[in-house]
A and B are shown apart, each in its own frame.
Chain A
Amino acid sequence: MTEYVSFTTAGQLFGLPIECVQDVFTLGNLTPVPLAGRDIAGVLNLRGRIVTVIDLANRLQLDAGTDAGAQMVIGIERGSESFGFLVDRVGEVLSLADDDREPTPINLDSTLNVVATGLFRLDDKLLVALDPDRTLDLPNSRRSRSKDVTI
């Protein structure tokens, strides 16, 4: 059995293994970073640590995008750095049997295919299990306002 923190973003249900989730918190005092890609929501201070908040829907190039009012952040530590995934809603922690994990369908888009470790068929929905490292390592998305700098 593996425990997953379930969450929804852009209408899709995802899960992250609970051992990689440091904390879940409400977004507050976020500083946007000009010139950063649209997948970077900004940076914030969480108890003295600087957290780089990643807009997950944009990073995974989900069409629906994040709700304008998305407020929940899932905190992840890697090395000496702190990251946060900005998502629409955080659900409950689900215990799912490893045997039930199914491979991702062949027609899944390439980005999701890279970051997903598998699928779970829940009663009413499909849950995509994510690998946090691969999600962080996705190449940066293009700049939001991609015009070149001219003075």
Chain B
Amino acid sequence: MDELLREFLTETTESLDHVDAQLVRFEREPNNRQVLSGIFRLVHTIKGTCGFLGLPRLEALTHAAETLMGKFRDGMPVTGEAVSLVLAAIDRIKAILDGLEQLQREPPGDDADLIDRLTRAAARRQSASCESRSEQSDGEIHDAAGLRNLAESNDTAGSIASQSIRVNIDTLDQLMTIVSELVLTRNQLLEVLRRHDESEFNVPLQRLSNVTTQVQQEVMKTRMQPIGNAWQKLPRVVRDLSTELGKEIGLEMDGADTELDRQVLELVKDPLTHLVRNCADHGIESADERSAAGKPRRGTIRLGASRQGGYVVIEIADDGRGLDTARIQAKALEAGLVSEADIAAKSELQINDLIFAPGFSTASQVTSISGRGVGMDVVRSNIERIGGMVDVKSRLGHGTSFVIKIPLTLAIVAALIVEIAGQRFAFPQLSVLELVRLGTEHRIERIKAAAVLRLRHQLLPLVEVKKTLQLGAGDDANGFVVVTQAGNQTFGAVVDNVFHTEEIVIKPVSSKLRHIEIYSGMTILGDGSVIMVVDPNVLAQSLGEVAAPRSEAVNDTVEPEPSSAQDAVSLLVFRAGSERLKAVPLPRVSRIEEIDCPAIEVADGQYIVKYRDELMPLLGFNLQARIEKQGPQPVLVFTEQGRSIGLIIDEIVDIAEEKLDVEVLGDRPGILGYALLKGGITEILDVGFFLQRGGLLGRAA
């Protein structure tokens, strides 16, 4: 491509992105001359260059736009309509530029419609109020002044330009790859050095190490861009959305100068735009709805970015209606994403998290903005692909906020090196919450095949990585549990040993190993050996459809748990069939009866007893053995819709007032999950399941 043309394209595209943001600001502050002259200058420059490069179509369009902008500068009132027109012109210019890039000449087409509207908008003012000639000439003086300003600002721009040069992105990427290798080699050298106490290489190697660190930092700096670059388009997006949706929406941005690697920036751009669109479309209510709820008519979307260690945290928050958990639940059920039983065991946080499930959408109407059921799952997978995580927090009626945590750079990440069956593996540090040493205080407990760990009054489902990797059976007594977060799932990964955290350069998994999903990459350690990087998301999948609470540590920092009093549930604790304690929520039990065994009859393989002039089906554990016993048997009676069933039990143990924190493990029918009651693991029975079984019988009879 012609060097001049290429230069023109790069520069113009960059400035156009800038103009988008400026224009929205211009609409709000029509009297800000600085903003106006900035836009004017750009359009003017494009026009000038077009004439020079022989691009008639662009020239005609920019000329018309420039004329209108010139009128604004001369004091013509700025209307929303006129801004839309200028924006439309800018869009058209962009489209032509795109075509220009592909075809290397102006794409065919006609802009007469737009030019006509621009000219008419510019003329309207002249015909509407025929000003005196003096003002006309005044305007010309302005123009002259404008040009003088232009000349001056070009001077300053020139001096800034001479301070920087354009470098091809490929060169920077290449440089980064080489520096990553340099860091690795440095790490290897230091590892060798560690084995020799006294070495003449000691001092020069230390120096090499320092210089390498500096080079790494500087090279990373060249690739750093302020996150504001990814936000530039958003004011325009929000403006267009508010017009389209008929809502009043403002956008506030904070921390736009937070820098991150341009590769990461590119990858996070689309998810960010999507989230902002979502806030505007689903989050913010209409102005009337808002005033009815006692909120300001104008809704606000807040974007915030800040650096926390090796990560950048971006928050996208709106002050809209918040997530409607009940509606999400209904939609998720309707779409078949979860079963009733799953839902019952999920916390509000976990239900809200379902918005990230593939195929989920609560928009009752499919709009052009969102609600096509593609989106949030893509947002999450895109962010997870770059080693980040996204979470949603919501307060009904107060708003929703999405928090994204992404690494500053993709090339070098911190990893925890662990040992499993004598082999080392790397866990991405970002997903590691804490480490627990197994011993007398913390030990692995098992419920059938499911391994769990008690950690501060919570049951943590465990993945025995040794088994997952088919490296033999685990040793329950020794080792460590790496408390890991993947998505909204917290689990413990059981490993034999934990070494240290190391900065590693992740390389893609060999094409011959890519089918093994559990590895997300490979890396060379300081000692020169190659190890595999384990993907915690895939490890979490091996838990099956197990829902676990978020870790306490995360909850503490996010939002303190509400006092347990209101959440406490009365549980009837009893034994039936086995030594393990079982429990049902007390409110679900309508009566506790004693029934004489001889009164129990068998019909169609079902046990029935006459109870209050009705036949009541009986269920229980090891029923046959039970009813052969003599004497009265305790029976829990559950009633729903006028129909009762009885559950024969061995003995009632206690009534417990506890905050019900059920953990679902496995999918045994009739069991909701397990909870820690008074320090012991108790099975929480699913009353619905028993009612259903009894209900079937009732219909048959």
**Chain A contacts to B: CB under 8 angstroms:** 29, 31-36, 40, 43-45, 48, 50, 52, 54, 81, 83, 136, 140, 145, 147, 149-151
Contacts and interface: CB of A to CB of B under 8 A. Distances in A.
B530 interface: yes
29 contacts: A29-B528, A29-B529, A31-B532, A33-B513, A33-B516, A34-B469, A35-B470, A35-B518, A43-B510, A43-B513, A43-B532, A44-B530, A45-B524, A45-B529, A48-B524, A50-B530, A52-B510, A52-B513, A54-B512, A140-B512, A140-B515, A149-B467, A149-B470, A150-B449, A150-B467, A151-B449, A151-B464, A151-B467, A151-B543
Contact of A36 (B463, B511, B516): B516
A149 to B, nearest CB: 6
Interface size band for B: 20 to 34
Contacts of B529: 29, 31, 44-45
Contacts of A48: 181, 184-185, 524
Interface string B381-403: 00000000000000000000000
Contacts of A81: 510-511
A36 B515 CA distance: 9
Given A45-B530, A48-B184, A52-B510, 20 more contacts: A29-B528, A31-B532, A33-B513, A33-B519, A35-B469, A35-B516, A36-B512, A43-B513, A50-B507, A52-B513, A81-B511, A83-B512, A145-B470, A149-B542, A150-B449, A150-B467, A151-B450, A151-B467, A151-B542, A151-B543
A147 B473 CA distance: 14
A72 B309 CA distance: 45
Q: Which 10 A-B pairs have the closest CB atoms?
A: A34-B469, A52-B510, A43-B530, A145-B470, A35-B516, A31-B530, A45-B524, A45-B530, A45-B528, A29-B529
Most buried by A among B468, B516, B524, B530: B530
B378 interface: no
Nearest to B522: A50
B451 interface: yes
B169 interface: no
Given A48-B185, A150-B449, A151-B543, A34 B510 contact: no
A52 B449 CA distance: 35
B397 to A, nearest CB: 41
Contacts of B470: 34-35, 145, 147, 149
Interface string B533-549: 00000000011100000
B471 interface: yes
B32 interface: no
B531 interface: yes
Contacts of B185: 48
A137 B64 CA distance: 60
Most buried by B among A32, A44, A45, A52: A45
A83 B544 CA distance: 35
Contacts of A34: 423, 469-471
Mostly, the A contact residues are loop
Nearest to A82: B510
Contacts of A43: 510, 513, 522, 530, 532
Contacts of B467: 149-151
A34 B528 CA distance: 19
Interface in B418-477: 423, 449-451, 463-464, 467-471
Interface of B: 181, 184-185, 423, 449-451, 463-464, 467-471, 507, 510-513, 515-516, 518-519, 522, 524, 528-532, 542-544
Contacts of B468: 149, 151
B521 to A, nearest CB: 10
A35 B515 CA distance: 10
A43 B543 CA distance: 28
A149 B538 CA distance: 12
A62 B467 CA distance: 30
Most buried by A among B449, B468, B470, B507: B470
Contacts of B469: 34-35
A59 B454 CA distance: 45
B312 to A, nearest CB: 29
Contacts of B507: 50
Nearest to B425: A34
A147 B472 CA distance: 12
A147 B467 CA distance: 11
A33 B450 contact: no
Nearest to B542: A151
A31 B519 CA distance: 14
Nearest to B464: A151
A50 B451 contact: no
B451 A36 contact: no
Nearest to A79: B511
A124 to B, nearest CB: 34
Contact of A52 (B181, B512, B516): B512
A48 B185 CA distance: 8
B465 to A, nearest CB: 9
A136 B510 CA distance: 12
Contacts of B518: 35
Contacts of A140: 512, 515
A136 B511 CA distance: 10
Contact of A151 (B423, B524, B544): B544
Contacts of A83: 510, 512
B291 to A, nearest CB: 53
Contacts of B512: 36, 40, 52, 54, 83, 136, 140
A83 B510 CA distance: 9
Nearest to B544: A151
Nearest to A78: B511
A16 B651 CA distance: 77
A52 B512 CA distance: 8
A40 B516 CA distance: 12
A48 B528 CA distance: 8
A46 B544 CA distance: 38
A149 B522 CA distance: 22
B58 to A, nearest CB: 41
A151 B468 CA distance: 7
A47 to B, nearest CB: 10
Nearest to A34: B469
Contacts of A136: 512
B513 A36 contact: yes
A7 B214 CA distance: 47
A45 B527 CA distance: 10
A38 to B, nearest CB: 12
Contacts of A52: 510, 512-513
Contacts of B423: 31-32, 34
A4 B471 CA distance: 39
Contacts of B449: 150-151
Contact of A31 (B451, B464, B531): B531
A109 B184 CA distance: 45
Given A35-B469, A149-B470, A150-B449, A40 B513 contact: yes
B296 to A, nearest CB: 51
B422 to A, nearest CB: 10
A119 B423 CA distance: 41
Nearest to A44: B530
A140 B515 CA distance: 9
A150 B543 CA distance: 9
Contacts of B513: 33, 36, 40, 43, 52
B107 to A, nearest CB: 36
A96 B532 CA distance: 41
Contacts of B524: 45, 48, 50
